[in-house]
Structure 1
């Protein structure tokens, strides 16, 4: 029997993991952590020393970091079809995009949000290089195919579309028709709608 608990807050990246959990269709519990409160409690810090959310526990295993949690769930529940098969030619592309979202994309958009200067000199050492190079890489891929790995929606798309949608809403990203169509396509999924509804309800409850 699977025993899963998601430690989250509806105003956090935990929403991404909630979507992933709805995609795999397995039962799970939710514990809402309060910023400035029990998220820094000794009990929670034993699970996640960073004192951040999300954290997932699964049959005694503790997983932190959004991309890691989502990738873990895709592997634990392959019947959900959220990763290309092991012998698929897209398997390498899938891993590439998982780490691209967690690495270059996150770094580039954080730099953009906080107006951190990336010069020609520093770009050689910074994981994302120039911000626009990162964005162009994603846009060029999505301009020619519906999803990052071709025709199949994968965990990489769940991550990428979540972040692009968030950064567009927060006006960190300028409106982009390629990105807009991609986010809309991904967010039409039933699991995405269920997850959004559940977390919105949590926000209303705590308001």
Structure 2
């Protein structure tokens, strides 16, 4: 049995989406995004107190990139993953791990806008810098999706994969802080992949981290 330890609207959504696409049997254990992740029981699964954590065949994993690569290699090496002989293997690895580049900037903005309760704790400079860095990440995705090759509906020429899941989930989070107005190819691609049942099933069913649809730059000038 596979058990995913998950907090809605966090990186573990990436693993939940992937598991839905893999169509394997699994169960989800939900956690609040709070100090309970620092309890000894959970730290035995994920030493840094982060989600996701995955229990599989008596073993434990953490870190989304590693989990994605392992699950794809085991259950779907040529559909969600790309095997070593695939022409898209190198690109698959790049984009699966690029998701974390985008996610780290979103995490910084989540801290600034959501986690820090008092205005005096927030830094307009950090907010501006991190939003600009998300924009640069959007630029990279836009360039990839705008490449004039056949079948560029997804990040890989060979079609939809866990690369789209990883980056797509990162974009889902970043859209709370930086809109896609200036990146039409990214917006079209995101709309396409977010219609998939696996994505829809990974959305929060109740409260998540974010209490509004978009967080304006602070302070608003």
1:71 alignment partner in structure 2:
69
Return the alpha-carbon distance in structure 1 between the equivalents of residues 173 and 107 of structure 2: 12
Within a 5 Å distance, the mapping from 1:98-137 to structure 2 comes to: 98-103=96-101, 105-109=102-106, 115-116=125-126, 133-137=136-140
1:24 touches 1:80 (CA, 8 Å); kept in 2? no
Does the residue aligned with 2:67 lie in a helix, a strand or coil? helix
Contact preservation (8 Å) 2:3, 2:27: yes
2:161 — aligned with what? 154
* Alignment partner of 2:170 out of 135, 138, 163: 163
Q: Counterpart of 2:196?
A: 189
- Structure-2-length-normalised TM-score: 0.73
Per-residue deviation, 1:195:
2.7
Cα shift at 1:194: 2.6
Is the CA contact (8 Å cut-off) linking 2:4 and 2:29 kept in structure 1?
A: yes
Distance, in Å, in 2 between the alignment partners of 1:143 and 1:65 is 30
- Flag the 1:60–1:156 CA change in 2: closer, same or farther, 3 A: same
Out of 135, 138, 142, which is 1:139 matched to? Answer: 142
Q: How many residues align?
A: 187
| CA contact 2:73–2:83 (8 Å) conserved in 1 | no
Aligned to 2:30: 32
Larger proportion of helix: 1
Aligned equivalents of 2:202 and 2:134: distance in 1? 30
Aligned to 2:84, the other structure's residue is in SS state coil
Shift in alpha-carbon separation, 1:133–1:37, aligned structure 2, 3 A: closer
Structure 1: unaligned runs, 5 residues or longer: 119-129
Question: What is the match of residue 96 of structure 1?
Answer: 94
Q: Secondary structure at the match of 2:44?
A: helix
Q: Specify every segment of 5 or more residues in structure 2 that has no aligned partner in the other structure, as ranges.
A: 113-124, 209-221
Partner of 1:180: 187
After TM superposition, give the deviation of residue 160 of structure 1 in Å. Answer: 0.7
- Pair 17,146 (structure 1): closer, same or farther in 2 beyond 3 Å: same
Bigger RCO (CA 8 Å, 6+ sep): 2
Taking only aligned residues, the RMSD between alpha carbons, in angstroms, comes to 2.6
* CA shift digits 1:55-88 (9 cap, x unpaired): 1111122111222222221111026710123211
SS in 2 for 1:192: helix
Deviation at 1:179, TM superposition (A): 1.4
Q: Secondary structure at the match of 1:47?
A: coil
